Chain A
Amino acid sequence: DTEVTQTPKHLVMGMTNKKSLKCEQHMGHRAMYWYKQKAKKPPELMFVYSYEKLSINESVPSRFSPECPNSSLLNLHLHALQPEDSALYLCASSQEGFPYNQPQHFGDGTRLSIL
């Protein structure tokens, strides 16, 4: 088990549905991340939150809407997704160590299927 918890583990939704992915960590990390991983591909960064503020948006379509309600929680709100959005969505967290990197610790992901 990882120290970053993601729910749900699996999600199937239609293109008109609205759903949310949740991520929680209790390691005191102040940076949190959303990644998208397609089959047999590496993770691709979507969003970064630092001290609960959005610091990086990698030109992600607006049908994905991130939210960081507090330092332990990260949500990804989904609306009107397309079949090509089907993927494993990974959450990660790290210490905030600007200007240096800190190791990111990943959750097990939510496997999302869009019908």
Chain B
Amino acid sequence: EDKVVQSPLSLVVHEGDTVTLNCSYEVTNFRSLLWYKQEKKAPTFLFMLTSSGIEKKSGRLSSILDKKELSSILNITATQTGDSAIYLCAVGKGAQKLVFGQGTRLTINP
């Protein structure tokens, strides 16, 4: 059975801290790993990773995939209250199907 596991499930930090969110997977027919941010409504696309060891960056966010360890991390530096959200990891199984992890609820306190 396909599995995507995120940790921690919940994280509370102070503004300015750096956080690391984890995602591990066991999915047949792996094609890619994606990170999304979900606030109140639509999940918003952050990154898609297909190659191991290549870091993707967007401002204070970065992510890297380790295909040998079947895992990925999402780093957020200098956190802001606007980073508070649920961060979802999803693995592309075949060309069209995404298998989601349960999400990490991140709370940034001022």
Contacts and interface: CB of A to CB of B under 8 A. Distances in A.
A103 B96 contact: no
A101 B101 contact: no
Nearest to B6: A42
A55 B95 CA distance: 11
Interface residues of B, number: 23
Nearest to B31: A101
Interface stretch (B13-21, B40-48, B60-68, B75-83): B40-48
B100 interface: yes
Contact of B88 (A42, A55, A108): A42
A4 B48 CA distance: 19
A41 B32 CA distance: 21
B24 to A, nearest CB: 15
A55 B96 contact: yes
Interface in A87-104: 90, 97-101, 103-104
B108 interface: no
B34 A106 contact: no
A111 to B, nearest CB: 9
B42 to A, nearest CB: 4
B94 to A, nearest CB: 8
A50 B101 CA distance: 24
17 contacts: A4-B42, A42-B88, A42-B101, A42-B102, A43-B43, A43-B100, A44-B100, A55-B96, A56-B96, A101-B92, A101-B98, A103-B34, A103-B45, A106-B36, A107-B42, A108-B41, A109-B42
